[in-house]
């Protein structure tokens, strides 16, 4: 039931008029404020990281631990 799902998304606090992006790691759709900016593209549009802040932090922590172990 797509309509019910859309309603639940709105209830969840994700506003439809807000720019959102799907995280490449957890696959969740989150507002752009949940992503780190990552420079600009050729046309001067702001680029965002592929992962949300949560996932970025987790990946960085993991990478640091791996380094320490090696
Ligand atoms: Zn994520």
- Between 2 and 59, whose confidence is greater? 59
Question: What's the whole-model pTM score?
Answer: 0.63
Number of domains in the chain: 1
User: Quick one: 17 exposed, middle or buried, by C-beta within 10 A (0-12, 13-18, 19+)?
Assistant: exposed
> Is the pLDDT assigned to residue 47 strictly greater than 70?
yes
- Residue span of the structural domain in which 26 resides: 2-69
Domain of 56: which CATH number? 3.30.60.130
Cα 10 to middle of ligand 1, angstroms: 19
Q: Measure the CA–CA gap between 33 and 61, rounded to whole angstroms.
A: 21
- Beta strands (DSSP E) in 9-45 are 20-22, 29-31, 35-40
Cα 50 to middle of ligand 1, angstroms: 9
Residue holding tokens 């965002």?
Answer: 48
């Amino acid at each position: 039931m797509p309509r019910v799902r859309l309603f639940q998304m709105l209830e969840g606090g994700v506003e439809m008029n807000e720019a959102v992006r799907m995280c490449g790691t957890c696959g969740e759709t989150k507002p752009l404020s949940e992503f780190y900016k990552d420079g600009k593209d050729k046309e001067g549009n702001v680029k965002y990281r592929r992962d949300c802040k949560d996932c970025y932090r987790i990946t960085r922590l993991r990478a640091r631990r791996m380094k320490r172990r090696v």
